[in-house]
Chains A and B, each alone.
Chain A
Amino acid sequence: MSAVYDASSSPNNTNANPSVAKKLKALIVDDDAIVRMIHKALLRKFDVETHEVKNGQEAVLAHRSGAYFDLILMDLDMPVMNGRQATKELRDMHVCSLIAGVTSLGDEENKSFIDAGLDYYYQKPLTVDAVRNLVDKIKGSSQSC
């Protein structure tokens, strides 16, 4: 598993057949390998292409090297850079992807996480219904930023 997202290895976004909907891309940001594995399986159920990083800094670096994702699943408590800082930095960089915070903490800690720029917030474990809701929101939105 690569630690840092490599923008050069991503498939080209040009779609030869316009009738085929573009596959959604998601970035999973979590230091726990088990959580990453589960989130990946959840997203694949909805045919979402997944990429993974282990902390907020790696998520920021991926975007600095030009990566774009329709959805970012962001953990809060991570080493190096937590989800709150990463979300704030991404928003400061004008990243307009849908960012969903996924944490195991109580509401109090999450207030500042949400304020950092989350679109949605879910308690772990993430469910199939929550992912379906996120995918529907993205498909329903205009996608332009």
Chain B
Amino acid sequence: MDKIEIGGLVFDPAWLPKLGEGLVVTLEITGLCIAIGIVLGLVLAILRVYGRGPLYWLSSLYVQFFRGTPLLVQLLMIYYGLPSWGIVLSPFLSGVIALGLNTAAYQAEYFRGAIQAIPRGQMLAARSLGMKRAQAIRYIILPQALRLVIPPWSNELILMLKYSSIVYMVTVMDLMGAAKTIAARTFRYFEVFILVALIYLAIVFLLSWLLRRLEERVRVPGLGIERGSAH
């Protein structure tokens, strides 16, 4: 295929397969780390709200540590640090774990905020029916909190998609890694990164749209912000 020239910039369609492969890796890493983050984040949030003693303190310590230190430091500790304890992880797995542990701390804070936004009377009414605390959390509190958390949580998903680009620092060939390789070979830095920026932008738009649809789908009257009431 011919190269495309726009305003003195030259784009080569031959880059696309490699960028496509990188995009798949980026989406895999984002998907996996978000999944780890949801599960771990929910557990942390529940411990932070309902836990007592060591469970509360440990979950709080976790959140403080991962929010209080740079993501890159966490990634490098896992990739370069853990081998000195005999734990050697692949670059891909290091990236997934570092990003997953990090986003879990942030997601935990979003979940905690949403759980605490549910009026106390909901728990009281659930317990007065004879529900165990775990049942009340599962059937009454979480279904409401998870609906409330979608808008702030969307931000975290989008951030993770973009932050996942730091895994190229440990040699993962994600979208960013692929771009760097192509750029270094062709010296078309500006063109390659314009293309990469557009790809990220497109994915962000798509994710935002999907989450807005999800939010509308699970909306219940009287819960959360009614669209169109503010502004």
Chains A and B come from one and the same complex: no
